[in-house]
């Protein structure tokens, strides 16, 4: 179980690290988008602050995953971003849905591994 956790943690860290570094350094050209996904991405880009905020959050969480510090916090912080990735792919671009599901399952696995850290969050008092 510990080896699986380490592998999943490192893979998630590498994936988010690559995505954020590639965004900031413009390592690859943006693909041509069509339809609703194009409209959605134009709106996100028009907001100016949203994509950099998401990518900075991904970068910080990726560093936490890779060095193995604050992993339970990083799993909680990255969760809404993963949910948004999943919903965008389900509703606007179904081709990326399998990868988004894999990301969600990996984050849930990490959260399950650290479930004792989250126990106090669910106390009524």
pTM across the whole model: 0.93
What's the pLDDT tens digit per position in 69-96? 999 999 999 999 999 999 999 999 999 9
3-state secondary structure of 67: helix
> Looking at residue 78, what is its pLDDT?
98
Please determine, for residue 121, whether its predicted confidence score (pLDDT) is greater than 90. no
Please determine, for residue 125, whether its predicted confidence score (pLDDT) is greater than 90. no
Give the total number of structural domains in the chain: 1
Q: What gap in Å lies between CA 82 and CA 104, rounded to an integer?
A: 6
Q: What gap in Å lies between CA 64 and CA 43, rounded to an integer?
A: 30
What's the pLDDT tens digit per position in 3-55? 999 999 999 999 999 999 999 999 988 889 999 999 999 999 999 999 999 99
| Percent of the chain scoring above 70 in pLDDT | 100
Q: In which domain, by residue range, is 34 found? A: 2-122
Q: What gap in Å lies between CA 35 and CA 93, rounded to an integer?
A: 9
Q: What gap in Å lies between CA 11 and CA 13, rounded to an integer?
A: 5
> Looking at residue 75, what is its pLDDT?
97
> Looking at residue 90, what is its pLDDT?
97
Show the tokens assigned to 77: 């912080």
Cβ atoms of 44 and 50 closer than 8 Å: yes
């Amino acid at each position: 179980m510990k080896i699986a956790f380490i592998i999943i943690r490192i893979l998630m860290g590498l994936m988010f690290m690559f995505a954020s570094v590639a965004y900031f350094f413009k390592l690859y050209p943006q693909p041509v988008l069509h339809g609703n996904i194009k409209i959605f991405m134009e709106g996100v880009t028009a907001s100016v602050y949203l994509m950099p905020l998401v990518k900075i959050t991904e970068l910080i969480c990726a560093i936490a995953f890779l060095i193995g510090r604050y992993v339970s916090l990083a799993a909680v912080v990255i969760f809404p971003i993963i949910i948004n990735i999943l919903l965008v792919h389900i509703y606007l671009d179904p081709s990326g849905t399998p990868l988004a599901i894999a990301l969600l399952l990996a984050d849930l696995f990490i959260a399950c591994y650290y479930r004792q850290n989250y126990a106090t969050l669910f106390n009524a008092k």
